[in-house]
Amino acid sequence: MPVPSLVGPDDVEQWIATLRSGECLSERSLRRLCQSASELLMEESNVQPVLSPVTIVGDLHGQFYDLLQLLSPEVGGEPPESSYIFLGDFVDRGHNSVETLSLLLCLKLKFPGHVTLLRGNHESRQITQVYGFYDECNRKYGNASVWRHCVQCFDTFGIGAIIDGRVLCVHGGLSPDVRTIDQIRAIDRQQEIPHEGAFCDLVWSDPEERLTNAPWQISPRGAGFLFGARVTDEFAEVNRLDLIARAHQLVMEGRQYHFGNKNLVTVWSAPNYCYRCGNVAAILTIGDDGKETKENEIIEVEGGEDEKGDGRPIIRQSFKFFHETEHSVHGPKGEERAQLVPYFL
């Protein structure tokens, strides 16, 4: 699929080089980037079909230099050698949301078949005005025009991805208004995330291990629901899924399976979140049947960005690289120590 007509391949290459050098794009370039990416993303399905092998990436939250490390050959590798599904929450809280979003949009334009971008609850006008992205755009560009271009682009991001018809990826979780994947495909996604309903729930909901007396419970976040093992099992069975992969919650060890039956996993990809949480990050690769696995390989990278200054890495952290063969889950030794830290917005 060619780069949309608003920009050319040379533009995208130049923008990537600019971002990798530590500079922001010009306001005009970022506007063109958002418009071109929107043109491309609008053509994709609400639930984009993806073939394995592919690597799933959780929340990034503006930690641009950690994203660069994630894309390094020592960790995930760059497209087109590696394909990615990014589960949303690219912006807010970190120092470099503008650069993080810009690079992901550039990679989408350059490698459209190898990069899938999903919408998180932070890809919204309301949330970004509270948690940092709006202020960052004003600080770096002197006005809110860049923010407006970006949030308009958010409206075109997909809600989900389906890997080989068997692994569903969403940002948050499930919804009492959604029983089948076809119902997700029918949602009008080109809008601001609503305060309730299926679209809202898919980016806001969370699993709850202790939820046994009722299938659903109102979320303490103020949007979405808590859901338990029964809801997860029923949804997976109805839709013939082996796994549901989501992000949205900080996991201290980078990845956590829920409910003991390993059909729901949380992936978190921002190390030392908010510059103080001390967590490691993970990415999760869904591989082909019969391929060699890289189970439990832990790779040291520069991560955990500086709380002061521009967010460049100053301390050592870990990315954990988990690799699965299709329909087969391999958990890390010591995984029982993983902690899910609930209800960060």
Active site residues: 122
Strand 54-57, strand 84-86: pairing: parallel
User: What are the two backbone dihedrals, phi and then psi, of residue 244, each rounded to the nearest 5 degrees?
Assistant: -115, 125
- Among 320, 334, 253, 331, smallest CA distance to 75 is for 320
- The interaxial angle of helices 27-41 and 145-154, nearest 10 deg, is 10
- Among 3, 2, 25, smallest CA distance to 14 is for 25
CA–CA distance, 301 with 317 (Å, rounded to integer): 6
Residues 6+ apart with CB under 8 A from 181: 47, 160, 162, 168, 239
Strand 47-50, strand 160-163: pairing: parallel
- Among 170, 158, 42, 40, smallest CA distance to 108 is for 40
Would you state the structure tokens that stand for residue 268, as one six-digit string? 């978190």
> 137 exposed, middle or buried (CB, 10 Å; 0-12, 13-18, 19+)?
buried
Q: Using the 8-state DSSP alphabet, how is residue 118 labeled? A: B
Strand order in the sheet with 225-227: 206-207, 225-227, 216-218
- Among 259, 246, 273, 267, smallest CA distance to 321 is for 267
